[in-house]
Each structure stands twice: as structure tokens, then as C-alpha cells.
């Protein structure tokens, strides 16, 4: 079983739609959680950290459920420019800041 699992998609949604991605992680010692965005053939870029209380950044909302070992990302009012692959990333205690990446969920926002 992969340490970080995501539905690869693709998710095809119309512009303006609300879309949610889920991610599960298997290591209960996981400590820090992030969503990264990766455009085709580019490096990943940090979208937002995920906190236990949940956090919001503009149109993006991230949630963490430690009991279920589950992370989510909600995108409201999707834009064409949101089309990318969204990577769920975790670190764990004793990992020395090593990032473990999920395979990513591909989002395509269409007119």
C-alpha cells in the first residue's frame, strides 16, 4: 500500500465549479501536511499547508482529519488556470523533513 494515496483523476469540471480532492495517508506518525500544485513538465509548487483546524486561502480550503488519516482540498469557483495536478504531501516524525508525495490528482477546468 502506498504511503500517500490519491485518486489520479482526471477531474474535468466546468469553469466556476466547486471541486474537492481527497487524500489518505497510512503512516499514523505523519506530522505535517501540504498540498502542492504541479503543472505539466514543471516543478511542484507549494499551494498551502494543511492544519488540524482547517484553513482557507482565497478559493482554496484544506481540511485534515487525523483520526481517519484523511486530507482534503476544496477549490471554489474554478478557473481555467487551476488546471494542474494537485499533489498531497506529508512528512512524518523522525523523517528529517523528508516529503512523501502522492501521485497527484489531475484537474482540468474547461469553458
Partner 1 sequence: GAVVSQHPSWVICKSGTSVKIECRSLDFQATTMFWYRQFPKQSLMLMATSNEGSKATYEQGVEKDKFLINHASLTLSTLTVTSAHPEDSSFYICSVTPNVNYNEQFFGPGTRLTVL
Residues near partner 1 (CB under 8 A) are 4, 8, 32, 41-46, 49, 87, 91, 96-104
Q: Which residues contact 102 (CB under 8 A, 6 or more apart)?
A: 2, 4, 5, 6, 23, 87, 88, 89
CB 61, CB 5: distance < 8 Å: no
Nearer to partner 1 by Cβ, of 22 and 32: the residue is 32
Q: How far is the CB of 70 from partner 1 (least distance, A)?
A: 18
Q: How far is the CB of 44 from partner 1 (least distance, A)?
A: 6
Stated as kind and residue range, the H or E segment containing 19 is: strand 19-25
Q: Which grid coordinates are listed for 69?
A: 488519516
Nearer to partner 1 by Cβ, of 61 and 106: the residue is 106
Q: How far is the CB of 58 from partner 1 (least distance, A)?
A: 17
Amino acid at each position: 500500500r502506498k504511503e500517500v494515496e490519491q485518486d489520479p483523476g482526471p477531474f474535468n469540471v466546468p469553469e466556476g465549479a466547486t471541486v474537492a480532492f481527497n487524500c489518505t495517508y497510512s503512516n499514523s506518525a505523519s506530522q505535517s501536511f501540504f498540498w502542492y500544485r504541479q503543472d505539466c513538465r514543471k516543478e511542484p509548487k507549494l499551494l498551502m499547508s494543511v492544519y488540524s483546524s482547517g484553513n482557507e486561502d482565497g478559493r482554496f480550503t484544506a481540511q485534515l482529519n487525523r483520526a481517519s488519516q484523511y486530507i482534503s482540498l476544496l477549490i471554489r469557483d474554478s478557473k481555467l488556470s487551476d488546471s494542474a495536478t494537485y499533489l498531497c504531501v506529508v512528512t512524518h516524525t523522525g523523517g528529517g523533513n523528508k516529503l512523501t508525495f502522492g501521485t497527484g490528482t489531475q484537474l482540468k477546468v474547461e469553458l
